[in-house]
A and B are shown apart, each in its own frame.
Chain A
Amino acid sequence: MKRKREEKGNLFVVPAVVWVFLFTIFPLLYSLRVSLSKVSYGKILGFTGLANYVRMFGDYRFWSTFRFTLIFALISVTTTTFLGLGFALVFNRKIRGIKFFRSLLTMPLFTAPVALGYLGVMMFYEENGPINVFLKFIGMGKVPWLSHPWWATLAICIVDIWQWTPFAFIILLAGLQSISDEIYEAAVIDTSSGWAVFRHITLPLISPILGTVMMLRIVDAFKAFDIPFSLTSGGPGTATRTLTFYIYTQGLRNFDLGYASAMAYFLLAMTMIIGILFFRRYRELYE
């Protein structure tokens, strides 16, 4: 009787597992095959072995998009984490109405990134856009936000930081709130320095959460597409194309599907390495 019931409980997970096999595993295997083939306009012509992968390592445009993706990830992830931690430390106290402000700060997380990119076009507009007007007001010159490669990179980072700082903020705030007051009270007896308490008590206790935030942010930064697409269209020139952007252009605009699939597998390998590192360290969080 009990045994029979357990077998039935088994089946609950089956539909979801089947779904993942159909719509994730199967497409990935298919993509592997495409990446090893010569493909012309959607037709698989024949097996070419590793030719697409070899081509990738010799393609300077691939390397420049990869470099841009890394720079973008580095700037965006470190800034969002630091700002988020700062805000979380400030918000972690009993103030009336704090919940309301916390809710307001989570709004950017749920706005469509592609819409934010176009909103960015309005904000960063060089002739009398609000940001340049403000900069002029505090005495700076006109900034070529979208027509200079470095400023365009910065503009993309700023939009991404605007959207994702709340992510770091609310998760770290939840982490801080889970630390009990007694630990602090005990610490205050030993030392009076706020920095010492932060360095030796708070930081070690929230480090797994800090790690989680950074890992998830790195993975998301590697996937970036919407904001460069809408804010700069990858420009000026090709200065702000991310890896995903280049895969999209090669595969679905130029229909060089084999080559694009090979690059997609490279990107997959990168995020999977990050994922494995993540699982190793933070397994217990998901128990």
Chain B
Amino acid sequence: MRKKNGLVEILVWIVIAVGVLWVLSPFYWAVITSFKKPADVFRLSSVPWVQFRPTLANWKTEFEQRGPEITRGILNSIIIAVCASLFAVALGSFAGYGLARHKYRRWKNRDLSFWFLSQRFLPPAATVIPFFLLMKSLRLLDTQLALILVNTTFVMPFAVLIMKDMFRELPVELEEAAWVDGCSRWQSFLRIALPLAAPALVATIIICFSFAWNEFLFALVLTYKNASPITVVIAGTEHTQGVQFWYVSTRLLLAIIPPTILALTVQKYIVRGLTMGAVKG
């Protein structure tokens, strides 16, 4: 669309390089710090093997000393995020299918969509206190179930709106043919629409998983020890270890890596996911 221009091309690549450097340098710093001996941490050294000798000692010590706590944290995070994203996407694909294929009379489809979307504007601080009191009276404090319920609630609106868009983009003719053959809505949903939407479904699960994994406020309030996910584990040990950055960085990486890597697999759906379908990427 524009004329090729050598100088502009070079400038563009400089901007790209700066952007990539800006994004990657904190990750890089965390990784090299986790492989540094304590004495090297507070020296300006950033090139392994040249400026400092990398060591696995921090990772080993960390797992020897805090192994059970960390593995429990990661396991809790996995259980909570997997269950919450599966629940949310199950509820979300039902509702999304309903909104895409059915005209609701009393509440119009548009108003229903907005109703789900409005949850995106709800500050977590507004529900954290009633949730705390509720879970306390149900004796669900410090259980994984409490956090599964909370995270399902938060990520479900995403799932509803993304799945609605996905089902709407499927050709309706296939399902109409099935209805003529005597399939019920339920059967055509399960056997035709759902399999066709499978890639979007998986992407939605991954996006929901990442959000649930990263959730912190509710995890901090509703768990103490047994059900604490990794985000709370890294917050809890900070006070006992202070500036021992070589240990801190190992835990940070354990919390950061899974959702960050997973998200790289769903690039096609990310824009929809982030704007809840307002912008099609």
Residues of A within 8 A of B (CB): 5-6, 8-13, 15-17, 19-20, 23-24, 27-28, 30-31, 34, 42, 86-87, 90-91, 93, 95, 99, 101-116, 118-119, 121-123, 125, 127-128, 130, 133, 162, 166-167, 170-171, 174-175, 178, 181, 184-185, 209, 212, 216, 219, 222-223, 225-226, 229-230, 243-244, 247-248, 251-252, 257, 260-261, 264-265, 267-268, 271-272, 274-275, 278-279, 282-283, 285-287
B86 at the interface (CB under 8 A from A): no
- B23, B42, B97: the one contacting A107 at CB < 8 Å is B23
In the bound complex, what is the Cα–Cα distance between A271 and B122 (angstroms)?
A: 7
Assess whether B192 is interfacial by the CB under 8 Å rule: no
Query: Contact between B95 and A103 (Cβ–Cβ < 8 Å)?
Result: no
Return chain A residues, CB-CB under 8 Å to B99.
Answer: 13
Please, how many angstroms separate the alpha-carbon atoms of A162 and B27 in the complex? 12
Interface mask (B79-116 → A, CB under 8 Å = 1, otherwise 0): 00000000000011011011101111000001011111
Interface size class on chain B is 35 or more
Main secondary structure, interface of B, reads: helix
CB distance from A277 to the nearest CB of B (A): 10
B275 proximal to A (CB < 8 A): yes
In the complex, 6 of the A-B residue pairs with CB atoms within 8 angstroms, ordered by the A residue number, are: A20-B116, A112-B231, A113-B216, A119-B249, A268-B123, A279-B118
* A residues in contact with B30, CB < 8 Å: 119, 122
**Residue pair B185, A5 in contact (C-beta under 8 Å):** yes
CB distance from A45 to the nearest CB of B (A): 14
Roughly how many angstroms separate A209 CA and B92 CA in the complex, as a whole number?
25
> How far is the CB of A60 from the nearest CB of chain B, in Å?
20
**Could you give, for residues 122-138 of chain B, a 1 whenever the CB lies within 8 Å of some chain A CB and a 0 otherwise?**
11111111111110100
* B75 CB-CB contact with A under 8 Å: no
Chain A residues lying within 8 Å of B115, measured Cβ to Cβ, are 20
- State whether B179 touches A5 (Cβ < 8 A): yes
A-contact 0/1 string along B212-225, CB 8 Å cutoff: 01101100010000
* A103, B12: Cα distance in complex, Å: 17
Tell me which residues from 133 to 177 in chain B have a Cβ below 8 Å from any Cβ of chain A: 133-134, 136, 149-150, 152-153, 156, 160-161
Q: Quick check: is B270 within 8 A (CB to CB) of the other chain?
A: yes
B136 → chain A closest CB, angstroms: 7
Is B49 in the interface zone, CB < 8 Å from A?
A: no
- State whether A226 touches B116 (Cβ < 8 A): no
Which of A111, A125, A170, A286 is in CB contact (< 8 Å) with B281? A170
